Structure 1
Amino acid sequence: MLRAVAVMAVLACAGNACAEEEDPELAAALLKCPGAAVFAKAEEARKAEDARRWAGITPSAPQLREQLLEMARVDQDARDGDWSQEMITKMLAVDAANLPRIKRIVADHHGLPGVREVGADGMAAAWLLVQHADTDAAFQQQVLEGLAPKVDSGEVSAREYALLVDRVLVNTGKPQRYGSQLAAISSRWQPKPMEAPEQVDARRAALGLMPLADYLCVAVEMFPAPATDADGKLL
């Protein structure tokens, strides 16, 4: 759907889009990250299966679907920049504007709206907006606690669930489990603190995530880190 979501799908193998032909920059990154390329190829079969599973469904809430897609588009446009202070200010303003809207949607639907309501792309957009609701970790935790049925139904992948787990842990000051959340330290992308880092690849493999080194490889190739000092502060 959106370029950054597609890139995240390859990085995390979350299943929204792992076909590198959809993005030439991604294809170039995968040439430099052969381990990630293997995962991307394997993911295409699962992507096709998901598409077949939901192909016959007409969303029952098309207007809500369009609203979610537009909110996600604005979210991603705000993140398509050079990590300047101006870009970060714009990104935070967009997140602040989206937060009460996605909270209201979640409240009205007693959780994330499902594929039958907003389609697979609309649900992916809703999930993305929750991921970026970083100023309200309690809200993210609330959504996370209600995701199990959608994981069981296949509407949310275990991998997407893991990404939100990491987000909630980081936003509540705890070590993450899967290494998905990165920080620019001394102008280099590094995982934020992790629980038992020596076991991270085993935890990732259990959910079908690529090894952390491959994840970092694609992140470095796709998104040049901003200039930062050893404490992660922008220079």
Structure 2
Amino acid sequence: MSGCGCGYPESAWTWWDQPYRAEDPVPCGDGALVVPVPARPDLAADLIGRAQAARERRRADFLSRYGQSAHVLVNEANALALRRIVSVHGWPGSRLVGVRGAEAALSVALGVDRSFFLRTLLRMLDTAVASGDAPRVHQALVYDRMCVLEGRPQRYGTQFRSGRGGVREVWPVAEPELLDIRRADVGLPPAARARGAVGPECGERALA
């Protein structure tokens, strides 16, 4: 299986093309705006740095005639780091690492190539989503990635592969007639709109 020149279909909700920034200010009781501080800014910085490095390595590999080997090594190192974090803290949600750190954790998770580890992450995401510490869309993206690794149809249409002639196509979807309903349930845009945002380098770009 291949996609986007990186050895696997890419997600429709990646952060590769988006610069990481500080936490967005939020209103507090007196109407002033404050920037939330995650409980573990050190872990947030580590995750963000790893996601950025993977993004840069991926772009370099995309432009290189040598292909994906360096990017795969970066992904493997990132997966080990994520494994260490979740073994202590569970899923690194917004309370622990902030919104940007949680987005970076998602980006790292989408580079994982072991479905059994993704199953572990999904169980942790179940808990995080139930407690309001992670959005459902993160759960959906990791689920689709796991389906691809297991060779099964995905549910949310977020994973792509290289088709005939190198044209990007959506990885097979279970019950495609219900796809947009499922996507709306987790906060994803309609599939047709999302497909229009697919770039040459890495799957669909993130859509608000």
When the two structures are superposed, what TM-score results if normalisation uses the length of structure 1? 0.67
2:148 maps to what in 1? 170
1:191 maps to what in 2? 170
1:34 maps to what in 2? none
Provide the secondary structure at the position in 1 that maps to 2:79.
helix
**Structure 2 gaps, min length 5:** 1-9, 29-33, 203-208
Q: Which structure has the highest helix share of the two? A: 1
Q: Tell me the amino acid that sits aligned with residue 149 of structure 2.
A: N
Deviates more, 1:74-83 or 1:181-190: 74-83
1:103 maps to what in 2? 83
2:6 maps to what in 1? none
Could you tell me which of 103, 107, 113 is aligned with 2:92? Answer: 113
1:61 maps to what in 2? 40
Task: Say what the alpha-carbon RMSD is for the aligned residues.
Answer: 2.7
1:223 maps to what in 2? 200
Deviations 1:169-201 (Å, cap 9, x if unpaired)?
A: 111121101111000102111111111122212
Which aligned pairs between 1:108-187 and structure 2 lie closer than 5 A?
Answer: 108-109=88-89, 111-134=90-113, 136-186=114-164, 187=166
Provide the secondary structure at the position in 2 that maps to 1:147.
helix
Q: Tell me the amino acid that sits aligned with residue 134 of structure 2.
A: V
**Structure 1 gaps, min length 5:** 1-7, 17-21, 24-49, 226-235
* Structure 2 CA distance for aligned equivalents of residues 125 and 162 of structure 1: 16
Deviations 1:16-52 (Å, cap 9, x if unpaired)?
A: 8xxxxx89xxxxxxxxxxxxxxxxxxxxxxxxxx852
Provide the secondary structure at the position in 1 that maps to 2:118.
helix
Provide the secondary structure at the position in 1 that maps to 2:162.
strand
Could you tell me which of 65, 73, 78 is aligned with 1:93? Answer: 73
* Structure 1 CA distance for aligned equivalents of residues 172 and 64 of structure 2: 25
The alpha-carbon deviation at position 83 of structure 1 amounts to 5.7
Find out whether 1:70 has 2:35 as its counterpart: no
1:37 maps to what in 2? none
Deviations 1:89-139 (Å, cap 9, x if unpaired)?
A: 121111122221111111121x222323222111211121111112x2111
Which fold has the larger relative contact order, with Cα–Cα distance below 8 Å and residues 6 or more apart in sequence? 2
Provide the secondary structure at the position in 2 that maps to 1:190.
strand
Number of matched residues? 180
* Structure 2 CA distance for aligned equivalents of residues 164 and 68 of structure 1: 17
* Structure 1 CA distance for aligned equivalents of residues 123 and 139 of structure 2: 10
Deviates more, 1:112-121 or 1:183-192: 112-121
Could you tell me which of 34, 49, 52 is aligned with 2:26? Answer: 52
Distance 1:169 1:58, change over 3 A: same
How much identity, in percent, do the aligned residues show?
30
Provide the secondary structure at the position in 2 that maps to 1:133.
coil
